């Protein structure tokens, strides 16, 4: 028996819950939100899909009742205001930091052994806040960003190379921001073959550039933050945890010397299994990639400083 709670019944949270239900990632999925009836209604709607989609996951909706989340194995935090067109992830920090602290207090109270997966933005900084506010071991607080960014990278690489998207492999590290993420073209492949053999340098650089503004592109098109890929990315990470799949996933981890960084949560590849972050994988970066990682870390630290300015830490 396994139990997952998703905090926030907006588009991302509901999509995450729906994907987990359909894939039967957990025995029970709880969706919680402060808005009266929202989570209950969405979970009832999903449950009515059970015979159509052939799943029997137990689905529970709750309006701000954390007692129903008790003893969760994993808690996915999506709650917070979404981005609007022209808004950066960093501009969300004041409101979303206060929401995060309140959520963490309840999560630790009712599910002290849970692994926390942070989806809310600014993701790197809120992951850092979740770690510090919860007092949990560093392996049990993870940020989702790199998993989503890497999925977007693979999408654009598939478009650039014309390859089957399921044969494309690519990784994005660094901060989960339009200017801070680092798509690693040097490591990208099509079924193990370097992508440079399938597309011009110009096309590949365009794929990397499109990846970096992937979220902003969707926000501009649909008027708010994306939800299908973010929800699916979170579900994939929960599945790797609960099923102990030990997938190597680029995600936001707390570093203590890895990649030359300390006291920061930022995107790097990690083995994700039943204990959460089971190993941070240090890969060789080109000089340019290493320099960009340093710049990315500095930008994340600058955003983290706002937590002190607003007295969130």
Residue 8's SS3 state is coil
Cα distance between residue 65 and residue 39, in whole Å? 11
Cα dihedral across residues 24, 25, 26, 30: positive or negative: negative
Beta bridge partner(s), residue 250: 269
- The torsion of the CA quartet 92, 142, 105, 40, rounded to 10 degrees, works out to 80
Residue 174 has a CB neighbour count (10 Å cut-off) of 31
Active-site pick, 176, 230, 241, 261: 176
Catalytic: 243? no
Distant-in-sequence, close-in-space partners of 299: CB < 8 Å, separation ≥ 6: 175, 177, 179, 180
First-last CA distance in the chain = 35
Distant-in-sequence, close-in-space partners of 213: CB < 8 Å, separation ≥ 6: 178
Task: Using DSSP bridges, classify how beta strands 189-190 and 168-169 pair: parallel, antiparallel or unpaired.
Answer: antiparallel
Q: Is the distance from CB of 233 to CB of 152 less than 8 angstroms?
A: no
Distant-in-sequence, close-in-space partners of 167: CB < 8 Å, separation ≥ 6: 190, 191
Q: Which residues participate in catalysis according to the annotation?
A: 176
């Amino acid at each position: 028996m396994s139990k997952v709670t998703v905090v926030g019944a907006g588009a991302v949270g509901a999509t995450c819950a729906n994907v987990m239900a359909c894939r039967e990632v957990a025995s029970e999925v709880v969706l919680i939100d402060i808005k009266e009836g929202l989570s209950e209604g969405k979970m009832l709607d999903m449950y009515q899909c059970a015979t159509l989609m052939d799943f029997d996951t137990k689905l529970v909706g709750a309006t701000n009742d954390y007692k129903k989340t008790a003893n969760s194995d994993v808690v996915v935090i999506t709650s917070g205001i979404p981005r609007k067109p022209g808004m950066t992830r960093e501009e969300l920090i004041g409101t979303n930091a206060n929401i995060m602290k309140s959520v963490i207090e309840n999560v630790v109270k009712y599910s002290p052994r849970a692994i926390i997966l942070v989806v809310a933005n600014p993701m790197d900084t809120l992951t850092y806040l979740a770690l510090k506010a919860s007092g949990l071991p560093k392996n049990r607080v993870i940020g989702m960003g790199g998993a989503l960014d890497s999925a977007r990278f693979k999408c654009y690489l598939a478009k650039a190379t014309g390859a089957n998207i399921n044969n494309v492999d690519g990784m994005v590290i660094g901060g989960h921001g339009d200017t801070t993420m680092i798509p690693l073209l040097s490591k990208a492949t099509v079924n193990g073959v370097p992508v440079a053999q399938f597309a011009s340098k110009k096309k590949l650089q365009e794929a990397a550039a499109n990846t970096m503004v992937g979220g902003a592109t969707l926000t501009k098109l649909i008027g708010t933050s994306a939800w299908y890929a973010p929800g699916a990315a979170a579900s994939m990470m929960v599945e790797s945890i609960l099923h102990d799949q030990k997938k190597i996933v680029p995600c936001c981890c707390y570093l203590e010397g890895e990649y030359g960084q300390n006291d920061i949560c930022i995107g790097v590849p990690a083995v994700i299994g039943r204990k959460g972050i089971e190993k941070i994988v240090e890969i060789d970066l080109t000089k340019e990639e290493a320099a960009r990682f340093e710049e990315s870390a500095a930008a994340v630290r600058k955003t983290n400083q706002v937590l002190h300015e607003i007295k969130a830490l």
